[in-house]
């Protein structure tokens, strides 16, 4: 029986277009100025150490590091240091009302219903935990953070690695078969299944794939799957 729902964000609870056409361009515009202004703060400096290590750019070359980060945003790299810095920049946008998080109406509806039915809800996204709390805390439909019991980002491991899902199970202290993982990316579902989790593949647009996996177009269809399991 499913007792825990672990959900991805981009393409699952929220649109890919919001992330790529709103959040990433916002970070591209504001990240350079943010880094120049906050370079000496430990939280920023620590991430820049990691950007230098991964990119090979000299740590003293601030503009080179900013260029590397801009390239990573363009290439949609899921680097933990980039995600941490993006979260800091988006925080300003949400606090000042320039950003409002997108959530699909069906996701908004069923997150509340599942929470009210006693299911425990967790997030696992490449976006930093800070970014996850922001997107759900400042949605156009209100604050959804009260429904979540916890958040995981790539500090626990990459989303295509089975070990990450085993680490999450260790943190949750539950049997793998009681967890349903929701994602739009098949490689992530495969990794979660390798760790023993149940999965549902969110396919929000286009034709449904021919697959043996459980597929859902929206959270109402996930709920139907959930009730059968």
Ligand X SMILES: CSCCC(=O)C(=O)COP(=O)(O)O
The residues binding Mg ion (CB under 5 A) are 8, 10-11, 184
d(CA 157, CA 102): 25
Residue whose CB is less far from ligand X, 118 or 204 = 204
d(CA 210, CA 143): 36
User: Is 156 in contact with 192 (CB distance < 8 Å)?
Assistant: no
3-state secondary structure of 131: helix
Residue whose CB is less far from Mg ion, 153 or 184 = 184
Choose from ligand X, Mg ion, none: what does 15 bind? Cβ within 5-8 Å by kind: none
d(CA 93, CA 30): 9
Contact pick of 120, 159, 198, 214 for ligand X (by CB under 6 A): 159
Choose from Mg ion, ligand X, none: what does 125 bind? Cβ within 5-8 Å by kind: ligand X
User: Is residue 15 a contact point for ligand X (CB under 6 A)?
Assistant: no
Choose from Mg ion, ligand X, none: what does 79 bind? Cβ within 5-8 Å by kind: none
Contact pick of 5, 19, 200, 203 for ligand X (by CB under 6 A): 19
User: Is residue 6 a contact point for ligand X (CB under 6 A)?
Assistant: no
Provide the 10 A C-beta neighbour count for residue 150: 15
Smallest Cα–Cα separation from 140: which of 109, 112, 103, 115? 103
> Angle at the Cα of 141 (from 136 to 144), degrees rounded to 5?
35
Choose from ligand X, Mg ion, none: what does 126 bind? Cβ within 5-8 Å by kind: ligand X
Per the DSSP assignment, residues forming a β-bridge with 182 are 7, 200
Contacts of 151 (CB under 8 A, 6+ apart): 122, 123, 124, 125, 129, 132, 133
Residue whose CB is less far from Mg ion, 67 or 186 = 186
Residue whose CB is less far from ligand X, 125 or 199 = 125
- Integer distance in angstroms from the first to the last C-alpha of the chain? 6
User: Is residue 198 a contact point for ligand X (CB under 6 A)?
Assistant: no
Contact pick of 10, 26, 152, 172 for ligand X (by CB under 6 A): 10
Residue whose CB is less far from Mg ion, 8 or 153 = 8
Window 57-116: residues binding ligand X (CB under 6 A): 78, 83
The residues of the shown chain that bind ligand X, judged by CB under 6 A, are 8-11, 19, 23, 78, 83, 125-127, 131-132, 135, 159
């Amino acid at each position: 029986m499913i007792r825990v729902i672990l959900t991805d964000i981009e393409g699952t609870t929220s649109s890919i277009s919001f992330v790529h056409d709103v959040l990433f361009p916002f970070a591209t515009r504001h990240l350079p100025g943010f880094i120049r202004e906050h370079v000496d703060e430990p939280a920023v400096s620590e991430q820049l150490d990691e950007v230098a290590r991964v990119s090979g750019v000299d740590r003293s070359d601030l503009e080179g590091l900013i260029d590397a980060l801009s390239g990573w945003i363009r290439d949609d790299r899921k680097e933990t240091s980039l995600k941490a810095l993006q979260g800091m920049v988006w925080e300003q946008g949400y606090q000042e009302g320039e950003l409002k998080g997108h959530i699909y109406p069906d996701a908004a509806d069923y997150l509340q219903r599942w929470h009210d039915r006693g299911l425990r809800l967790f997030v696992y996204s490449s976006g930093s935990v800070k970014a996850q709390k922001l997107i759900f805390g400042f949605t156009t439909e209100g604050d959804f953070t009260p429904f979540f019991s916890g958040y995981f980002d790539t500090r626990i491991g990459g989303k295509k690695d089975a070990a990450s899902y085993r680490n999450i199970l260790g943190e949750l202290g539950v049997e793998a078969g009681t967890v349903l993982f929701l994602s739009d990316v098949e490689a992530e579902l495969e990794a979660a299944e390798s760790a023993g989790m149940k999965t549902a593949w969110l396919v929000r647009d286009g034709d449904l794939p021919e697959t043996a996996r459980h597929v859902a177009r929206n959270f109402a269809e996930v709920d139907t799957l959930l009730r059968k399991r």
